[in-house]
Amino acid sequence: MASVCRVGSTVGRSLAKHRSPVLLSLRRGQRSVSYAQSLAGAPETRLTALDNGLRVASEETGHATCTVGLWIGAGSRYESEKNNGAGFFLEHMAFKGTKKHSQTALEQQVESMGAHLSAYTSREHTAYYMKTLAQDLPKAVELLSEVVQSSSLSEAEVEQQRAVVLRELEEVEGNLQEVCMDLLHATAFQGTPLSHSVLGPSANARSLTRQDLVEYLSSHYKAPRMVLSAAGGVNHEELVDLAKAHFSGLSFEYEGDAIPVLSPCRFTGSEIRMRDDAMPLAHVAIAVEGASVTSPDVVPLMVANAIIGSYHISNGGGKNQSSRLAAMAAEENFCQSFQAFHSSYSDTGLMGIYFVTDKHHIEDMMHWSQNAWMNMCTTVTESDVARGKKALKATLVGQLNGTTPICDDIGRHVLNYGSRVSLAEWDARINAVTPKVVRDICSKYIYDKCPAVAAVGPVEQLPDYNRTRSSMYWLRF
């Protein structure tokens, strides 16, 4: 789960005058841009490293707007039981004033630019970014540098934000998908830092001190673990100069060489249930250990998930949907919704299916979800894989619609891989996937493996764990 915090306005209607290169080509008489043309015409992502280890990456698209931000290799996985939630707390403190600007002055600066300032925290990453007019890039970088390096962290603001964080924790408890996925991580990675939720427990929100936040900053906000990323109407050389001006002073040293090293996070096949028969629907997630973000197995698993697909009761198509599980869910009314997912981390992952159903169909959905997995290991066809590959490509391209998702993609890729993986490279990796590859890779991760299960709601009918575990073997036959 990733938290998000925002401040400021969105960019005004004057941007409606500007058109993307694709729209301009249409106006010039070109009827459409093919998928291959869009890959070939994708702008280059440029990457430069400063002397202190900070990396500067950008993609210039020529738009009148841009998104610029800092992506940091820090999140709840870097926290202990004692300070779990510190990163999320800091995210709330970031926009409450700096040593140079009060909260009011900071908000006025953002508003006067017609900009949008935001942040999010996940298990392995933290990001602070701003979307603004391209001409305001220098001011945006200056404000971001203040937010990250010079947050005031006053005692009064810490106490004020403590109440805000506690209210947000209460609100998240009402989002049962988030609750279910946090429980899944808690049982799948029990005893390891990946079991920590991003928001942390309410007890920590009440006890974290200003000194805890300062120590978290000094331990993790180091130049080599940061990427200044930008996309849109940006000039790379200008961005590098701005980075040198505002981030050259970022520390790259650790006290006593105490460099944080991530401990391996073992996966444990297990289950956790929060039974509440008063709830109308059950929320259930089942997952096996997936591939790490850098594993070559990620793409075949992504194709497999695209084949299984997703479903919502409000969708059209019914029994004619291409996903077998979706067609069955629609025809037999097995669930309200389901979605296949794959969460990748630096050294491990979770591949699973999350579904929402009434108490009478939990067993049916568990059976057919596992059956869908077994089909990936045994009977997946050429047409299944072709469909999954097209769906995956459409998703990857669709996720990069705008400067903000592109900027986020660049930041996360540089942290994860050391460089940006282009759409053309993703396309080549996807094209290399065959039915045999899907069967072999899915067998490696799914067949006869111990799953992790999390369930919330009226879950009396949820099968016994040993029965669920044995199905990972017997459903193959």
State the Cα–Cα distance between residues 108 and 8, nearest whole angstrom.
Answer: 8
Q: Which of 60, 79, 91, 107 is catalytic?
A: 91
CA atoms within 13 A of residue 222's CA, in its CB half-sphere: 16
Would you call 316 exposed, middle or buried from its count of C-beta atoms within 10 A (0-12, 13-18, 19+)? exposed
H, E, C per residue of 88-129: HHHHHHCCCEECCCEHHHHHHHHHHCCCEEEEEECCCCEEEE
DSSP conformation class of 225: G
CA 260 → CA 78, 116, 225, 413, distances in Å? Answer: 8, 32, 11, 21
Best CA proximity match to 462, nearest among 362, 389, 375, 370: 362
State the Cα–Cα distance between residues 391 and 92, nearest whole angstrom.
Answer: 37
Position 12: which residue type? G
**For residue 21, what are its two tokens?**
């290169």
Q: Are 351 and 188 in contact (CB under 8 A)?
A: no
Coil, strand or helix at 344? strand
State the Cα–Cα distance between residues 153 and 146, nearest whole angstrom.
Answer: 12
**For residue 1, what are its two tokens?**
């789960």
Residue 91 among the catalytic residues: yes
Best CA proximity match to 84, nearest among 216, 182, 211: 216
Best CA proximity match to 42, nearest among 430, 422, 406: 422
CA 384 → CA 28, 328, 387, 433, 439, distances in Å? Answer: 38, 16, 5, 12, 12
User: What is the Cα gyration radius of the chain?
Assistant: 23
Would you call 472 exposed, middle or buried from its count of C-beta atoms within 10 A (0-12, 13-18, 19+)? buried
State the Cα–Cα distance between residues 139 and 388, nearest whole angstrom.
Answer: 43
Residues that are catalytic: 91
